C-alpha cells in the first residue's frame, strides 16, 4: 500500500524563486514514502476439496526433470524431479522444484510413505529421511500450498496389515485427515503374491482411518489382479476384484511394455496395447479395463467406493518412470503416452502428459 504524500503546511504561499534564486535551475525532489506490507498467503485447507476434483489426476511420478541435488543425476538438468524425495532438498531448491513441476500443468504429485524409522525414498538412491509425523504433514501442506494435490502412498514397502494398523494413531489426527485427501493404502506395487485377504485388510484400513480420502490401489506392472495365484484359482480374477472394489475409487495401472520394449521411442504395438486398456467399447465390450469396470465384462465389478453402479476409475499411472529414472529416456515420450491414454479414455495420468484432465462426475 502507498502512503499519501505529505500535505503542504497551511499559511502564505512562498515564492521559492524569490527566496532562493539559484533554485530556478534546480528540480524539486518529491519524496514519496512507500510502505510495503508483506502478507503471507494463508495455508491451503484441502478439507473441502470435492472427491471429483481430487480424482482428476494429472501428474508425473518419476518423469519430470529438475536439477535436484540428490537423485540419479545430482545437480544436472536431466535429474528426476522426485516429489517423493523432496524433503531432503534445501528450502530454496524445493521451492524451485515445486514451481518447475506446476509449470508443466501438473496438479497432482506423489508423496512417499511415512514411517517412524529412517528410510530412503527410493532404492537408497536418496539420503535417509527421518521426519517426525508433524514434519511429514508440513511437507504435505507445502504440496497443497503450491497447487499440488499429494497422492499419498501410505503403507511402507513390505509392511503387513498388522504393521499398517500401527499407523492408525497418526493418520487419525485431525490435521492428517485434512491433508491426506488422496490415499493409496496398500502403498507402492505390493508383491504379486500378496493375498486378496491382505489387500482387503489394507483397503478397509484406508476407508476406516481416512474416510474422506480418495482411495486408490497400485500393483506390480501388468498384474491387474489384487490377489495371488491361490486366490485366482479359488475366486477367479473377477472374484478378487469384486471383493476389493467397494473400498476403492480408482486403479493406478502400471505397464512395463514401453520400458522393456528396447526403444526410447514407443512402438506402434505398445501404444495400441497400452491405449486399448482404457478404451470403452460398445456393450458388452471387448475386454479392456474400461469395459470390465463399466459393463461388467467377464463378471468384473461395476460398483466401487463411489457407490452402487459407479465404476472404479482407471488411470494411466506408471508407464515410463523406470526408464526415465535409470536410463534418462526423454521425458517427452512419457508425456505423449499420457496424452494417448487420455485420448483413449483414461480417467487421468500420473507418469507424464500435457493435456488437461477434466473433472468428471462418478
Digit-coded pLDDT (tens) for 263-307: 999 999 999 999 999 999 999 999 999 999 999 999 999 999 999
How confident is the model at residue 14, as a pLDDT? 37
Number of H helices, E strands in the chain: 14, 6
Task: Determine what percent of the chain is predicted with pLDDT higher than 90.
Answer: 85
What region, left, alpha or beta, does residue 347 occupy, with left being phi > 0 and alpha being psi -120 to 50 degrees?
Answer: alpha
Would you say 151 and 189 are in contact if contact means Cβ atoms under 8 Å apart?
Answer: no
How confident is the model at residue 120, as a pLDDT? 84
Q: Is the pLDDT of residue 239 over 70?
A: yes
Higher pLDDT, 7 or 311: 311
Sheet strands (E) in the chain: 108-111, 149-153, 182-184, 214-218, 250-254, 313-318
Interacting residues of 200 by C-beta distance below 8 A, sequence separation 6+: 243, 244, 247
Interacting residues of 83 by C-beta distance below 8 A, sequence separation 6+: 97, 101, 109, 110, 111, 143, 148
Give 123's pLDDT tier (boundaries 50, 70, 90): confident
Nearest to 264 by CA among 222, 318, 221, 320: 320
Give 362's pLDDT tier (boundaries 50, 70, 90): confident
Average pLDDT of the chain? 90
How confident is the model at residue 40, as a pLDDT? 59
Other CB atoms within a 10 A radius of the CB of residue 359 amount to 11
Least confident span in 63-67, 123-127, 202-206: 123-127
What average pLDDT does the segment 343-353 reach?
98
Q: Is the pLDDT of residue 252 over 50?
A: yes
Give 222's pLDDT tier (boundaries 50, 70, 90): very high
Q: Looking up cell 511402507, which residue turns up?
A: 156
How do residues 139-182 score in pLDDT, each as one tens digit? 999 999 999 999 999 999 999 999 999 999 999 999 999 999 99
How do residues 15-71 score in pLDDT, each as one tens digit? 433 333 444 443 433 334 333 344 457 899 999 999 999 999 999 999 999 999 999
Would you say 254 and 351 are in contact if contact means Cβ atoms under 8 Å apart?
Answer: no
Domains in the chain and their CATH numbers? Answer: 49-344 (3.20.20)
Q: Give the three-state DSSP class for 314.
A: strand
What pTM, to 2 d.p., does this model score?
0.88
How confident is the model at residue 232, as a pLDDT? 97
Length of the chain: 362
- What letter would DSSP give residue 5? P
Give 122's pLDDT tier (boundaries 50, 70, 90): confident
Higher pLDDT, 33 or 355: 355
Q: Is the pLDDT of residue 1 over 70?
A: no
Would you say 346 and 314 are in contact if contact means Cβ atoms under 8 Å apart?
Answer: yes
CB crowding 33-52: b at 16 or more within 10 Å, else e: eeeeeeeeeeebebeebebe
Would you say 35 and 1 are in contact if contact means Cβ atoms under 8 Å apart?
Answer: yes
Rounded CA gap, 362 and 360, in Å? 6
Amino acid at each position: 500500500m502507498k502512503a499519501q504524500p505529505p500535505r503542504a503546511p497551511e499559511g502564505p504561499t512562498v515564492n521559492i524563486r524569490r527566496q532562493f534564486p539559484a533554485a530556478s535551475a534546480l528540480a524539486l525532489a518529491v519524496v514519496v514514502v512507500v510502505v510495503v506490507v508483506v502478507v503471507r498467503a494463508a495455508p491451503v485447507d484441502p478439507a473441502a476439496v470435492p472427491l471429483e476434483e481430487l480424482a482428476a489426476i494429472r501428474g508425473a511420478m518419476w518423469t519430470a526433470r529438475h536439477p535436484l541435488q540428490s537423485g540419479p543425476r545430482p545437480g544436472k538438468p536431466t535429474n528426476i524431479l522426485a516429489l517423493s524425495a523432496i524433503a531432503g532438498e534445501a528450502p530454496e531448491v524445493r521451492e524451485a522444484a515445486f514451481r518447475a513441476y506446476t509449470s508443466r500443468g501438473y496438479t497432482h504429485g506423489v508423496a512417499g510413505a511415512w514411517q517412524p524409522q529412517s528410510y530412503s525414498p527410493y532404492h537408497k538412491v536418496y539420503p535417509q529421511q527421518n521426519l517426525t509425523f508433524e514434519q511429514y504433514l508440513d511437507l504435505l501442506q507445502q504440496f497443497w500450498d503450491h497447487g499440488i494435490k499429494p497422492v499419498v502412498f501410505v503403507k511402507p514397502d513390505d509392511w503387513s496389515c498388522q504393521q499398517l494398523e500401527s499407523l492408525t494413531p497418526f493418520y487419525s489426527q485431525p490435521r492428517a485427515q485434512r491433508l491426506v485427501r488422496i490415499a493409496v493404502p496398500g502403498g507402492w506395487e505390493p508383491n504379486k503374491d500378496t493375498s486378496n485377504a491382505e489387500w482387503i485388510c489394507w483397503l478397509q484400513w484406508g476407508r476406516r482411518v481416512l474416510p474422506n480420502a480418495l482411495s486408490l490401489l497400485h500393483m506390480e506392472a501388468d498384474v491387474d489382479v489384487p490377489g495371488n495365484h491361490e486366490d485366482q484359482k479359488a475366486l477367479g480374477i473377477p472374484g478378487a476384484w469384486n471383493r476389493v472394489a467397494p473400498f476403492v475409487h480408482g486403479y493406478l495401472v502400471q505397464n512395463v511394455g514401453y520400458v522393456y520394449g528396447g526403444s526410447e521411442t514407443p512402438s506402434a504395438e505398445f501404444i495400441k496395447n497400452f491405449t486399448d486398456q482404457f478404451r470403452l467399447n460398445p456393450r458388452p465390450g471387448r475386454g479392456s479395463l474400461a469395459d470390465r469396470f463399466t459393463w461388467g465384462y467377464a463378471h468384473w465389478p461395476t460398483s466401487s467406493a463411489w457407490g452402487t453402479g459407479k465404476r472404479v476409475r482407471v488411470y494411466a499411472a506408471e508407464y515410463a518412470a523406470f526408464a526415465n529414472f535409470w536410463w534418462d529416456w526423454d521425458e517427452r515420450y512419457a508425456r505423449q503416452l499420457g496424452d494417448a491414454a487420455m485420448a483413449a479414455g483414461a480417467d487421468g495420468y500420473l507418469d507424464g502428459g500435457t493435456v488437461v484432465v477434466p473433472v468428471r462426475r462418478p
